[in-house]
């Protein structure tokens, strides 16, 4: 259960054959570690690390080897970051490539090698024109392969069935693997990572099994065509890599606070590879995920995020030397008047975000409380079946989420052959029939995506929320963009249009609307602000479009906040009942520490230990009667002035240890927390000295401290407990 | 002296004609404010703001007007940011344009209007080719205007003399204006702003006079040709704007902590307009300047930085729709082997940074301690004279710093006519004679800049360090870049070159080397890391070049840190003796609070007040005998258990107030810090109740708290004092 509470230190102590006093002064193994589902004490962890660092520094002056050790210790952080970047980048590349291949496998097979995806398969083909590139002889759809024909109703039905069959197979495999090997691998993982970073311990959540299973099932889940994305889970994958790599370095293995610094950096790495946005990733970690983020971590996360981005780029999973499928470059500027539709998109995004969170949380609560929760495999299969059934006929839902976004972001050039770019080539470029068909299909896709995402997020498969949210926003944005464009083209004598839209010029970019819409919806769901702007900025690579993005994202956040304070991750944290102290919210009430503290005035008095005069038996009795995790130590029962604080876990371990190893310790042995034990009569049993486990600097506030200040202390210093004193 | 210690509240109280008790319960004016050159108490300021906010929220449910007030209060932060962005952007635009004009005025005058600079003057001219554009008939050099000829030795001497004369005139005006009106306007201002943001109060440092004089003298100083830049002072200018605009909003006028949040955002705005890098500016503020930077401020700073960047862009001071003169776009990729010269540039940057800091600090200390400091005007004139004398003959020193950097960053295209791009047009493009001349001139310019910057920074004119540091690095980088390029061209059969440098292709970009060198030198001087990378990223607009930049900047920081821990701003803070608690450094020693606290064991006992039983006279006596800024209040002299803490300033004001306004208060009146005053005999003088000014929640640590933790508490909570207790 707790691998670090081992016996190694203990047996070393016994073989050391030293004097009794030496044995007692040695640190008892297990003291200073934590149990599962507990919160760490940041202050204690940090001072542990400082002590370790001081020791290494002082030793380094003594010998060359120690100096080398000290240097390697200083650089181990950078090395660790390098490794995390390389590993996460490589994993993200593998995930991208395999998901691409599996997604294409739903539609057909490459004859020159089944491991090629559609695009790779047709690279060698002679059909070099844009339209025909997709139809090379090596690539055969399932109908061609099984029935020999690629036309007609029968072929369509064969393809349809194979599509559904593959989707069901993939999602079945995903959910079975998750259930069998790593139950923690489901979901996006971001709520749990937020909780872990705030100091909570969930053993195994970032372990190697979770990593392996999450990577495999993520590919399967994405390929099955469910309305989910790989971006959120990539953060979890990067954090798993970081946690596993931490075990290589003593410095990080043994210190929970240091490890959390590394995990913060890993969250940045995850976003960096997910969106190809290293700066955005660092800001995401800073704004959204992290709890304690010193400057040193900022710089290291940036380094790791860059390494990961470059690793991914050298793998080049999309063959376009970009890190994401939906990288865009726009060229036409936008006009002030367009801020109105952008803000409308922001309102849409905010409304959708707030409603999505409510609906999703209600659905997840239903899953937890009703019988629905007992059949996770069936649930996944049913949702996959319905998704596949409904999505095949519509080409915009059949393609994967990131392909859809890429198509919607696309700025129609004259050569573009896609349906959305089917403009008549007359002077004003009015929309052709293809565009109108596409609009209908997109409208249907919008409703479909909105509904199916609500039931998908939270199922027992790895599922990210970024891509589905962005897809919803991108569809809405593109629809609005095309509408605006046609309005401007048909009515370019209108006053507002006249000023900037000269006849025949492309004055409105529907792709930009899609991007603004995507950002607004994502902002509404996650309540990210600055990091989202920067991610989008890195996707487009120009300062030019920051103002539309900011206007939409800010509107979206305000609208969503007005309908419900929490983002999706906070809502899921609360739903799962994790302990999490929100850092962003202001404490509004005017209570004082004395109104909040336990025990309340009506409760029995506070249980305290005295610094001298209590026996082992009495202390064990106190511990048996209560279930507090720690006890204040006071001068005496009469003069309850505070001396220190002792943790239950440390006390249990130390008393057990004393009983086992120290001869003659019985229940009547006196326990001393004093530094100098007064001389004892020879006849009595030996005393137990526990000064070592006593925290001599517990944090205290007076009973008149406003709760807002107390909360601030908890947040900023990462306390586990705080004692309330009155006149000392 | 202290404008907020006014009498308004006082006279209101008197005219209110209430009962005596009401008068006493009213807040005494002046309580809770600070004196000049004092440190603020962040915790107290924040709880003041929370109280204010709570009051507005609770009132907002009562009436529509109060609701409107509450909404306007919530949005006032955003409005303030908008105003700061607009004002700073506009000011930066004016500074750019006027500096450009004045710099050109040193060389000649435009006949079509003296207010045109060289470039504007020649826009209308017919010579449209690149080479001749600079020689339009409307623009006349001083020699043409005064002597009628533009050729020959006489004309050269006339130009030389006019150049020096103008330079001396501008710098004389600058130093006289600074001395006469705003002594705080000199220097870059960043060290002082760091100190102010950490909670120190320097009245007038961010006032309107400082703003006006700094703006004017900055233009003059930059135009005089001294080796200084406008980037650092722009941060000061933006902070002045912010401070002045804060006075429009009660929320920010009355709260020192809230005002510092705004100032942090303003620092971001300053860098945003200086480099056209909004994201880099925000990170600069976060990494380098700010002390307390909550997420809300992050988002607001970003907004303000963007507004400022767009304001500046719409002014378009350089006519290239870019925000800086030295915006570049490179197109050729770099090769792994090139990391070696990049790291060499990093070492150079680190060495130069460390040496510059030492030399500059030594020179500034000399100025402070010797007679040199008594003649600031003369010093400025002498330095300007020498600078102008030596810089005129060399065209690379004659041009302004940002023009030089822009020239060095420039990627030579085939059409480029500058001397540095004088390559032979044969297959391998070996360097022509122009390049070799340029290299000699650049080498001379490098030594000149290195020496003259040391004596320039710290003079009594506004002077930024960014541009001179970048210029030094850019020259070194360009020299190395050209050397590498020629080596690769002449020896492209060498093994390391062979792999990536095919014959005839441009495989090395000397401009990139210049940029990397500039970043390395700036990093060495300021020890900025991530913000510098992001600023450079925004200047080039491509992720491609982040790795070279990071390698150089990291090397530079490590080398510089090995030679001296402090950056130039920290060194100047220490030189000037400002109180500043460095947030980045780790505390290494193993002392406990009891070893550091005052009074020391050998000193006389701690001076305390008791919660009851002391008279006004006794307290005044205690205050007269000591000069502590505050006193702990204990239960009684015998049982010194802590009740609270009272500040000297509050005590003085309250006692004065009581003597003036409360009848019959004499020295023998008893002072009570208790909530309920025990009944007094009728015969005695009235009692003074001071419960109101008593801080009931002073921060305490136990005597066994390690200093590292105590320091952490001070840093994170922004404390002004902390009491050390032993067993309560």
Whole-number pLDDT of residue A346: 95
Is the minimum CB–CB distance between A726 and chain B shorter than 8 Å?
A: no
Region of poorest pLDDT, from A306-315, A610-619, B587-596, B682-691: B587-596
d(CA B97, CA B102): 9
d(CA A586, CA B47): 11
What is the block-wise mean pLDDT of chain B (728 residues), using blocks of 10 residues?
A: 34 35 50 72 78 80 82 86 94 91 86 77 57 65 77 84 91 90 85 87 87 92 89 92 91 86 92 87 85 78 88 78 70 80 94 94 89 86 92 87 86 67 64 81 92 90 90 94 83 67 68 92 89 81 76 90 86 83 63 72 74 80 80 79 80 81 76 75 72 77 77 74 74
Whole-number pLDDT of residue A424: 64
| Second CATH level (architecture) for the domain A77-122+133-315 | Orthogonal Bundle (1.10)
Whole-number pLDDT of residue B429: 63
Which of B347, B359, B293, B278 minimizes the C-alpha distance to B89? B278
Within the 295-314 window of chain A, which residues sit less than 8 Å (CB to CB) from chain B? 295, 298-299, 302-303, 306, 309-310
Is the minimum CB–CB distance between A624 and chain B shorter than 8 Å?
A: no
d(CA B578, CA B570): 10
d(CA B166, CA B162): 6
d(CA A41, CA A34): 9
- Here the tokens at position B327 are 């915006």
A339-349+393-566 has the same fold as A77-122+133-315 = yes
User: Which residues touch A103 (CB under 8 Å, ≥6 apart)?
Assistant: A117, A222, A223, A225, A400
Q: Which residues of A touch B727 (CB under 8 A)?
A: 635, 641-643, 728
On whether the A593-725 domain is CATH 3.10.28.10, my answer is no
Which residue's entry shows tokens 């057909």?
A: A108
Average pLDDT over residues A249-261: 86
Assign 3-class secondary structure to B69-83: HHHHHHHHHHHHHHH
d(CA A156, CA A167): 16
Which of A284, A299, A646 best probes binding to B when mutated, by most B CB atoms within 10 angstroms? A299
Whole-number pLDDT of residue A497: 65
Which of B697, B703, B713 best probes binding to A when mutated, by most A CB atoms within 10 angstroms? B697
Q: How does DSSP classify residue B200?
A: B
Whole-number pLDDT of residue A474: 94
Whole-number pLDDT of residue A343: 93
Inter-chain contact A50–B587, Cβ cutoff 8 Å?
A: yes
pLDDT band at A485 (very low <50, low <70, confident <90, very high): confident
Whole-number pLDDT of residue A12: 35
User: What superfamily in CATH does domain A339-349+393-566 come from?
Assistant: Clc chloride channel (1.10.3080.10)
Inter-chain contact B54–A534, Cβ cutoff 8 Å?
A: no
Is the minimum CB–CB distance between A676 and chain B shorter than 8 Å?
A: no
Is the minimum CB–CB distance between B316 and chain A shorter than 8 Å?
A: no
d(CA A473, CA A251): 44
d(CA B228, CA B220): 11
Name the residue facing A287 among B54, B295, B698 (closest C-beta): B295
Third-level CATH fold of B336-576:
Clc chloride channel (1.10.3080)
What DSSP string runs through B473-517? Answer: HHHHHHHHHHHHHHHHHHTTTSHHHHTT--TTS----HHHHHHHH
Within the 486-525 window of chain B, which residues sit less than 8 Å (CB to CB) from chain A? none
- With a cut of 50, say whether residue A20 has pLDDT above it: no
- Here the tokens at position B356 are 């510059």
Q: Which residues of A touch B709 (CB under 8 A)?
A: 43, 46-47, 697
Asked whether A233 and A463 are in contact (CB, 8 A), the reply is yes
Q: How does DSSP classify residue B689?
A: E
- State pLDDT tens for residues A451-466: 999 989 888 888 888 9
Is the minimum CB–CB distance between A280 and chain B shorter than 8 Å?
A: no
pLDDT band at A17 (very low <50, low <70, confident <90, very high): very low
- State pLDDT tens for residues A633-679: 888 777 777 778 888 888 888 888 888 777 777 777 788 877 777 77
Identify which has the larger pLDDT, A147 or A465: A465
> What ipTM score was computed for the predicted complex, to two decimals?
0.76
pLDDT band at A266 (very low <50, low <70, confident <90, very high): very high
Which residue stretches of B316-338 are H helix? Answer: none
Whole-number pLDDT of residue A654: 81
| φ, ψ dihedrals at B140, nearest 5° | -120, 130
Q: Which residues of B touch A542 (CB under 8 A)?
A: 541
Whole-number pLDDT of residue A728: 61
Which of A206, A152, A216 minimizes the C-alpha distance to A178? A216
Instruction: List the domain boundaries for chain B.
Output: 40-99+184-213+227-318, 336-576, 593-725
Task: Kindly compute the dihedral angle of the four CA atoms of residues B471, B476, B482, B483, in this order, to the nearest 10 degrees.
Answer: 170
In three-state secondary structure terms, A182 is: coil
Region of poorest pLDDT, from A335-349, A543-557, B321-335: B321-335
Whole-number pLDDT of residue B174: 92
pLDDT band at A387 (very low <50, low <70, confident <90, very high): very high
d(CA B217, CA B186): 9
Bridge partners of residue B688, in order along the sequence: B671
- With a cut of 60, say whether residue A10 has pLDDT above it: no
Bridge partners of residue A464, in order along the sequence: A229
Q: Which residues of B touch A708 (CB under 8 A)?
A: 46-47, 50
- With a cut of 50, say whether residue A615 has pLDDT above it: yes
- State pLDDT tens for residues A401-415: 888 888 888 877 655
Whole-number pLDDT of residue A16: 35
Asked whether B272 and B266 are in contact (CB, 8 A), the reply is no
Which of B299, B330, B557 best probes binding to A when mutated, by most A CB atoms within 10 angstroms? B299
Helices (H), strands (E): how many in chain A?
29, 10
- Here the tokens at position A313 are 């780029």
In three-state secondary structure terms, B463 is: coil
| Second CATH level (architecture) for the domain B40-99+184-213+227-318 | Orthogonal Bundle (1.10)
d(CA A242, CA A246): 6
- Using CA coordinates, name the residue in chain B closest to A301: B530
């Amino acid at each position: 259960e707790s691998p670090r509470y081992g016996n190694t230190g203990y047996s070393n102590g016994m073989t050391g054959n030293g004097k009794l006093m030496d044995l007692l002064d040695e640190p008892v193994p297990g003291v200073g570690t934590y149990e599962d589902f507990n919160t760490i004490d940041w202050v204690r962890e940090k001072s542990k690390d400082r002590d370790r660092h001081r020791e290494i520094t002082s030793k380094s002056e003594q010998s060359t080897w120690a100096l080398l050790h000290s240097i390697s210790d200083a650089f181990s952080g950078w090395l660790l970051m390098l490794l995390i970047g390389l590993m996460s980048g490589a994993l993200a590349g593998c995930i991208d490539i395999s998901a691409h291949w599996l997604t294409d496998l739903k539609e057909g097979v490459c004859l020159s090698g089944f491991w090629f995806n559609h695009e790779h398969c047709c690279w060698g083909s002679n059909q070099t024109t844009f339209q025909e590139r997709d139809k090379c002889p090596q690539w055969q759809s399932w109908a061609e392969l099984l029935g020999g024909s690629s036309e007609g109703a029968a072929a369509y039905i064969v393809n349809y069935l194979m599509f559904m069959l593959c989707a069901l197979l993939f999602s079945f495999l995903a959910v079975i693997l998750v259930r069998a090997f790593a139950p923690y691998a489901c979901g996006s993982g971001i709520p749990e990572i937020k909780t872990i970073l705030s100091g909570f311990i969930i053993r195994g959540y970032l372990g190697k099994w979770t990593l392996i299973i999450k990577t495999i099932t993520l590919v399967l889940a994405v390929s099955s065509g469910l309305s989910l994305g790989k971006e959120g889970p990539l953060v979890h994958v990067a954090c798993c890599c970081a946690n596993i790599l931490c075990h290589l370095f003593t410095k990080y293995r043994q210190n929970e606070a240091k490890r959390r610094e590394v995990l913060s950096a890993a969250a940045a790495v995850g976003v960096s590879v997910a969106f190809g946005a290293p700066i955005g990733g660092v800001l995401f970690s800073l704004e959204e995920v992290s709890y304690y983020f010193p400057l040193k971590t900022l710089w290291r996360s940036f380094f790791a995020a860059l390494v990961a981005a470059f690793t991914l780029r050298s793998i080049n999973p999309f063959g376009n030397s970009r890190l994401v499928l939906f990288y865009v470059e726009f060229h036409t500027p936008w006009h002030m008047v367009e801020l109105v539709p952008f803000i409308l998109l922001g309102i849409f995004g905010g409304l959708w975000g707030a409603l999505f969170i409510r609906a999703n949380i209600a659905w997840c609560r239903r899953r937890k409380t009703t019988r629905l929760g007992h059949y996770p495999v069936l649930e996944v299969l049913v949702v996959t079946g319905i998704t596949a059934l409904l999505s095949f006929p519509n080409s915009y839902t059949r393609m994967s989420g990131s392909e859809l976004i890429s198509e919607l972001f696309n700025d129609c050039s004259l050569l573009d052959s896609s349906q959305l770019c089917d403009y008549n080539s007359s002077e004003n470029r009015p929309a052709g029939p293809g565009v109108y068909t596409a609009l209908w299909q997109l409208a249907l896709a919008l409703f479909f995506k909105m509904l199916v995402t609500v039931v998908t997020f939270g199922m027992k498969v790895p599922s990210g929320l970024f891509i589905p949210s962005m897809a919803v926003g991108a569809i809405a944005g593109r629809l609005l963009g095309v509408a605006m464009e046609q309005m401007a083209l048909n009515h370019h004598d209108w006053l507002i249009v006249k000023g900037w839209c000269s006849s025949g010029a492309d004055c409105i970019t529907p792709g930009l609307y899609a991007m603004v819409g995507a950002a607004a919806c994502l902002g509404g769901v996650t309540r990210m602000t600055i990091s989202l702007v920067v991610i989008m900025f890195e996707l487009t690579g120009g300062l030019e479009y920051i103002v539309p993005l900011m206007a939409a994202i800010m509107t979206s956040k305000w609208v969503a906040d007005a309908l419900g304070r929490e983002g999706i991750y906070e809502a899921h944290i609360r739903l799962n009942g994790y302990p999490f102290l929100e850092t962003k919210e202001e404490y509004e009430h005017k209570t004082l520490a004395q109104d909040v503290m336990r025990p309340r005035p009506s409760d029995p008095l506070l249980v305290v230990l005295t610094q001298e005069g209590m026996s082992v038996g009495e202390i064990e009795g106190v511990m048996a009667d209560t279930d507090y995790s720690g006890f204040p130590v006071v001068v005496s029962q009469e003069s309850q002035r505070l001396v220190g604080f002792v943790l239950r876990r440390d006390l249990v371990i130390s008393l057990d240890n004393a009983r086992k190893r120290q001869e003659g310790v019985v229940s009547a042995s006196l326990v001393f927390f004093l530094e100098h034990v007064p001389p004892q009569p020879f006849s009595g049993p030996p005393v137990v000295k526990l000064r070592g486990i006593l925290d001599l600097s517990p944090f205290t506030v007076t009973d008149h401290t406003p709760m807002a200040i107390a909360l601030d202390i908890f947040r900023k210093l990462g306390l586990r407990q705080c004692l309330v004193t009155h006149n000392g």
